[in-house]
Amino acid sequence: MANALIKTDFNFKGQTNVYHGKVRDVYSIGNDKLVMVATDRISAFDVILPKGIPFKGQILTQIAAKFLDATADIVPNWKLATPDPMVTVGRKAEAFPVEMIIRGYLTGSSWRTYKSGAREICGVKIPEGMKEHQKFPTPIITPTTKAAEGHDEDISKEEIIKRGLISAEDYAQIEEITYKLFARGTEIAAKRGLILVDTKYEFGKIDGKIVLIDEIHTPDSSRYFYLDGYAERFAKGEQQKQLSKEFVREWLMANGFQGKEGQKVPEMTDSIVSGITDRYIELYEHITGEKFQKAEQSQDIAKRIEDNVSKYLG
């Protein structure tokens, strides 16, 4: 099997801090730059799984870079360069403590909430009589708080403003940008024979201006259905063929794991791991319309990243 990068411990020139997230390791350079390394770690139900997924970090980095470039006319973003297939270097922003989740379809956690009897998610009313995977009349925004540790929590627009997490003026702006980004992502996906089902965006401010940060339209932050056969499957009440991390969650749930106390992560065999890599590559090729080129692995991955980033930082 190919190697997977699950841990990093760099000391770049000018480094002032490091933050190890669930999937990404973010190195602060001076006061104004960030080096974001997308590792091959994979998380589900807010738990980091015991094995890494080869090439996952590269896939996430390259999809995000393409979509950051493809949406820069809608909103400026933090990206400056991608000096390595697994690395984005960008400008440091003051991040808003909220993730903007936008949903075009009643699927995943929103369906589980709806099925339990709820008819309101994050202050947004959901019509009666909807079915799983049904398209909403118009996309809905269901924000969550951005937890430093543990689970993110659903929150309404009103609560965000009331708690002073984001000002009413800034929220109105990011709400409008969220709808525009989702429309662009939907348009690009449709050209590739996919449906962008739901996704999340994160925003911050640089020099007082709102910017898009982190990743965009990747399989970790988004869910895609195949457009072909969607209507037929929906009419028959069948599950949709999808490309997203949801298949990992479904595998875990089928094996008795939902991140709850006392539950054990099922064994991740080599065939499970390589199967997940294959699904990520499949999504990359579908969403970009390009053949995935695996990054050079003849040398140590961490050493390759260190060399490429150090060269970029000069």
* DSSP character string of 16-67: EEEEE-SSEEEEEETTTEEEEEE-S--EETTEE-SS--TTHHHHHHHHHHHH
Cβ(108)–Cβ(198) under 8 Å?
yes
CATH topology of domain 94-244: D-amino Acid Aminotransferase; Chain A, domain 1 (3.30.470)
- Look at residue 297 and give its three-state secondary structure: coil
Asked whether residue 297 carries a pLDDT value surpassing 90, the answer given is no
- Look at residue 310 and give its three-state secondary structure: helix
Q: What is the pLDDT of residues 66-104, one digit of tens each?
A: 999 999 999 999 999 999 999 999 999 999 999 999 999
Asked whether residue 267 carries a pLDDT value surpassing 80, the answer given is yes
Lowest mean pLDDT among 116-130, 143-157, 253-267: 143-157
Task: Tell me the pLDDT band of 251, cut-offs 50, 70 and 90.
Answer: very high
Asked whether residue 247 carries a pLDDT value surpassing 90, the answer given is no
Q: For 16, list phi and psi in degrees, rounded to 5.
A: -115, -20
Task: Tell me the pLDDT band of 149, cut-offs 50, 70 and 90.
Answer: low
Q: Which amino acid is at 103?
A: R
Asked whether residue 283 carries a pLDDT value surpassing 90, the answer given is no
Sort residue 142 into left (φ over 0), alpha (ψ -120 to 50) or beta.
beta
Would you mind telling me the total number of residues written for the chain in this entry?
A: 314
Q: What is the pLDDT of residues 35-68, one digit of tens each?
A: 999 999 999 988 999 999 999 999 999 999 999 9
Asked whether residue 151 carries a pLDDT value surpassing 90, the answer given is no
Per CATH, 15-93+269-313 and 94-244 having the same topology is answered no
Q: Which amino acid is at 227?
A: L
What's the average model confidence in pLDDT over 176-182?
A: 98
DSSP 257: -
Q: What is the pLDDT of residue 148?
A: 62
What's the average model confidence in pLDDT over 93-122?
A: 96
**The whole model's pTM is what?**
0.91
Q: With b meaning 16 or more CB within 10 Å and e meaning fewer, what string describes 140-173? A: bbbbbbeeeeeeeebbbbeebbeeebbeeebbeb
Cβ(101)–Cβ(109) under 8 Å?
no
Q: What is the pLDDT of residue 246?
A: 77
Q: What is the pLDDT of residue 152?
A: 77
Task: List C-alpha distances in Å: 166 to 175, 178, 205.
Answer: 11, 15, 11
Task: Tell me the pLDDT band of 2, cut-offs 50, 70 and 90.
Answer: confident
The domain locations on the chain are 15-93+269-313, 94-244
Asked whether residue 169 carries a pLDDT value surpassing 70, the answer given is yes
Task: Tell me the pLDDT band of 305, cut-offs 50, 70 and 90.
Answer: very high
Cβ(214)–Cβ(222) under 8 Å?
no
CATH topology of domain 15-93+269-313: Phosphorylase Kinase; domain 1 (3.30.200)
Task: Tell me the pLDDT band of 150, cut-offs 50, 70 and 90.
Answer: low
What's the average model confidence in pLDDT over 124-130?
A: 96
Residue tagged 């709806």 (tokens): 114
Cβ(77)–Cβ(177) under 8 Å?
no
Q: What is the pLDDT of residue 245?
A: 80
